[in-house]
């Protein structure tokens, strides 16, 4: 157990450079990819999970992200960190998924937000205290793009420059969006208390 | 770590109520999810790779056999077919023109006979339906000129109106009565015929 932990720690601090060199060596390709999975899959999973709420949807999207990464990592030019690139892929797939969901609900009274809220309260893998649930419910009132920015700053604690690389929005725009989102979330919690 | 503090300070300034809430979320995971997810992702990648290998395999062109020199002979046989079709279409066009040219007087006579027969059939079929749909204005005109009609024609119209239903008769029964009055005829005269 301790060996496995130390191995995991070693893999967690493995650099982008090492992963890329190993990935481009056919004999180490799979190993390099496993390092990457060990290092980044949790971050990506939790980011997606907080956006889509449902575990099964998050699981599908995480798999999709990493399959895309496997296909394109050899051509990765290293202009950003691999993790930032992973977040970008995950953001695009998640927003597309949520937009499709919105279209699906466009012709019935239930909205995509209502559906996510229902999943929050009835989902198999959701079980928090009153405050935790209310906070999630408040975050769900935000528009998808604003919610994404809020999650990346509030939970993933990314720098605005990194979020800018992920979303393609200016730092100024991100700051304004985060500020508005935080105010909205706080107001929702106060109003419904 | 510095970023975490900065984010917290920023949140304290923007939304102090939100900053005081714990960031723990209510989402749970199936047991050993990340280990299983890693295996599942690698499995899907392997399946995709295997499928790709089959598709890109050099063996694929040996799945089907070809006749000897097939591709060498193919252009020649295609050109031969094109020429053959051109000749056939030219011959069939000439044939039609020659047939019409040789037999034009005979064909013109046949067409004339056909037109005459068709017209006579149309006339026979069209008259009753035309008469049966005679409108009120026509009936009025007929009544106006009744005194000028030969007695026998008025009598014939009367007898026809008695023998047929309203919809099939040339004019309605009551109209025939007016017609008879206008022509100075009466039932006694009709009965004496």
Of chain A, the percentage scoring pLDDT greater than 70 comes to: 90
Give exposure, A49-80, as e/b (b: 16+ Cβ within 10 Å): bbbbbbbebbbebbbbbbeebbeebeebeeeb
CATH number of the domain enclosing A152: 1.10.10.10
pLDDT digits (tens, 9 = 90+) for A101-114: 888 777 666 666 77
- Using a CB-CB cut-off of 8 Å, the residues of chain B touching A49 are 27
Among A57, A45, A38, A140, residue whose Cα is nearest residue A96: A57
Looking at the fold, whether A192 and A97 belong to one and the same domain comes out as no
Contact, A183 vs B15, CB < 8 A? yes
A119 in a domain, yes or no?
Answer: no
Q: What integer best gives the mean pLDDT of chain A?
A: 88
Q: What is the ipTM of this complex?
A: 0.76
The span from the CA of A118 to the CA of A110, in Å, is 10
A123 in a domain, yes or no?
Answer: no
Q: Which residues of B touch A (CB under 8 A)?
A: 3-4, 7, 11, 14-18, 21-30, 33-34, 37-38, 40-42, 44-45, 48
Per the CB < 8 Å rule, is B34 touching A67?
A: no
pLDDT of residue B1: 52
- Using a CB-CB cut-off of 8 Å, the residues of chain A touching B41 are 37, 41, 62-63, 66-67
A64 in a domain, yes or no?
Answer: yes
- β-partners of residue A126 are B27
Q: What confidence category does residue A13 fall into, taking pLDDT thresholds of 50, 70 and 90?
A: confident
Looking at the fold, whether A157 and A72 belong to one and the same domain comes out as no
Looking at the fold, whether A76 and A169 belong to one and the same domain comes out as no
A190 in a domain, yes or no?
Answer: yes
Query: Rounded mean pLDDT of A1-14?
Result: 53
User: Which of A51, A77, A107 finishes a domain?
Assistant: A107
The span from the CA of B18 to the CA of B22, in Å, is 9
Per the CB < 8 Å rule, is A50 touching B41?
A: no
A174 in a domain, yes or no?
Answer: yes
Query: Rounded mean pLDDT of A135-153?
Result: 94
CATH number of the domain enclosing A91: 1.10.1740.10
A144 in a domain, yes or no?
Answer: yes
Looking at the fold, whether A11 and A81 belong to one and the same domain comes out as yes
Looking at the fold, whether A68 and A162 belong to one and the same domain comes out as no
Looking at the fold, whether A186 and A98 belong to one and the same domain comes out as no
The mean pLDDT values, 10 residues at a time, for chain B of 193 residues are 82 92 89 90 86 67 68 80 84 66 69 76 54 48 58 67 53 61 63 61
Pick from B17, B38, B41: which is nearest to A189 by CB? B17
User: Which of A107, A141, A160 finishes a domain?
Assistant: A107
pLDDT of residue A3: 44
A139 in a domain, yes or no?
Answer: yes
User: Which of A78, A107, A136 finishes a domain?
Assistant: A107
Looking at the fold, whether A88 and A168 belong to one and the same domain comes out as no
Pick from A41, A70, A157: which is nearest to B7 by CB? A157
pLDDT of residue A70: 94
Looking at the fold, whether A29 and A93 belong to one and the same domain comes out as yes
- Kind and range of the H or E run holding B45: helix B33-56
pLDDT of residue B180: 65
Looking at the fold, whether A88 and A159 belong to one and the same domain comes out as no
Looking at the fold, whether A78 and A1 belong to one and the same domain comes out as yes
Checking if the pLDDT of A158 tops 50, the result is yes
pLDDT of residue B131: 42
Looking at the fold, whether A138 and A48 belong to one and the same domain comes out as no
A120 in a domain, yes or no?
Answer: no
Domain that holds residue A190: 128-193
Structurally, chain A folds into a number of domains equal to 2
A154 touches chain B (CB under 8 A): yes
Looking at the fold, whether A97 and A8 belong to one and the same domain comes out as yes
pLDDT of residue B65: 65
Q: Degrees (nearest 5) of the Cα angle A30, A34, A35?
A: 120
């Amino acid at each position: 157990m301790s060996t496995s932990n130390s191995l995991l720690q070693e893999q967690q601090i493995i650099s982008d450079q090492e992963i890329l060199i190993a990935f481009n060596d056919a004999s180490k390709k799979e190993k390099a990819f496993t390092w990457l999975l060990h290092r980044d899959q949790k971050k990506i999973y939790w980011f997606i999970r907080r956006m889509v709420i449902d575990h099964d949807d998050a699981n599908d999207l995480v798999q999709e992200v990493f399959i895309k990464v496997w296909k394109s990592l050899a051509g990765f030019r290293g202009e950003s960190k691999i993790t930032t690139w992973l977040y970008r892929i995950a953001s695009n797939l998640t927003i597309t998924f949520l937009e499709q969901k919105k279209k699906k609900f466009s012709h019935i009274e239930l909205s995509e937000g209502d559906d996510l809220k229902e999943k929050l309260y009835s989902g198999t893998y959701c079980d928090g205290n009153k405050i935790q649930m209310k906070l999630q419910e408040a975050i769900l009132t935000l528009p998808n793009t604003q919610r994404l920015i809020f999650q990346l700053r509030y939970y993933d604690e990314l720098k605005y420059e990194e979020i800018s690389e992920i979303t393609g929005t200016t730092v100024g725009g991100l700051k304004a969006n985060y500020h508005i989102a935080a105010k909205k979330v706080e107001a929702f919690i106060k109003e419904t208390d | 770590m510095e970023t975490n503090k900065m984010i917290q300070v920023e949140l304290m300034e923007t939304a102090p109520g939100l900053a005081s809430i714990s960031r723990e979320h209510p989402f749970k995971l199936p047991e050993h999810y990340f280990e299983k997810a890693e295996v599942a992702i690698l499995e899907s990648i392997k399946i995709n790779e295997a499928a790709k290998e089959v598709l890109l395999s050099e063996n694929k062109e040996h799945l089907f056999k070809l006749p000897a020199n097939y591709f060498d002979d193919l252009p020649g046989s295609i050109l031969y077919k094109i020429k053959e079709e051109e000749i056939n279409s030219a011959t069939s066009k000439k044939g039609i023109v020659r047939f019409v040219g040789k037999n034009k007087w005979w064909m013109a006579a046949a067409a004339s006979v056909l037109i005459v027969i068709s017209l006579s059939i149309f006339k026979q079929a069209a008259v009753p339906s035309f008469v049966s749909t005679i409108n009120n204005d026509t009936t009025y005109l007929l009544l106006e000129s009744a005194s000028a009609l030969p007695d026998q024609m008025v009598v014939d119209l009367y007898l026809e109106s008695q023998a047929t239903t309203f919809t099939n008769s040339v004019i309605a029964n009551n109209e025939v009565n007016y017609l008879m009055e206008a022509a100075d005829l009466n039932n006694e005269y009709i009965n004496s015929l």
